[in-house]
Amino acid sequence: MAADERTAAALHIELGSDVAFVRRLRYDDKEPFQLVDSYFHMDAWRQIAAADFDTHPLYDVFKDSFGLYIVHADEFLRADLASKAEAKLLTIPAGHVGDPVGADCLHVRDRPVEYRRSVGRCDRYHYHVRLQ
């Protein structure tokens, strides 16, 4: 798909450049709790496109199969209303607060490879950060 303004800025690419898009719906005890939309820089996607994401966690595939180590991530959290499509997947009412909405940009060798946006059910999803 073509990179929109946010995706292009996060991945340091031109607006409208090709990006790979992957949507994952995470479950806890057979109940959906988080929807994750990932946009990949095409250089990274060419390396991982054939991976089996159903049986292996995405970042394990990056590391173990392709030698791509996530060295840092920038994450931003905010509460927002779930869209109609997001609400349907998460089995919550449309307009329900999806908490948190996360936007991350994950870097390999200080180069962004994935921009990720996620929304979780506020009744099932909790975010914890410990700063030391």
Higher pLDDT among residues 15 and 121, named by residue: 15
Residue pair 107/69 in contact (Cβ under 8 Å)? The answer is: no
Q: What is the CATH number of domain 5-121?
A: 3.40.1410.10
Return the pLDDT at 5.
93
Summarised one tens digit per residue, pLDDT across range 70-90 is 777 777 777 777 888 888 998
Summarised one tens digit per residue, pLDDT across range 24-58 is 898 888 889 888 898 988 888 887 777 777 777 77
Geometric angle at alpha carbon 35, from 34 and 41, rounded to 5°: 130
Residue 100 has pLDDT above 60, yes or no: no
Higher pLDDT among residues 54 and 8, named by residue: 8
Q: pLDDT confidence of 102, banded at 50, 70, 90?
A: low
Distance CA 48, CA 17 (A): 19
Backbone dihedral angles phi then psi of residue 118, each to the nearest 5 degrees: -135, 155
Residue 101 has pLDDT above 60, yes or no: no
Residue 34 half-sphere exposure, CB side, CA atoms within 13 Å?
16
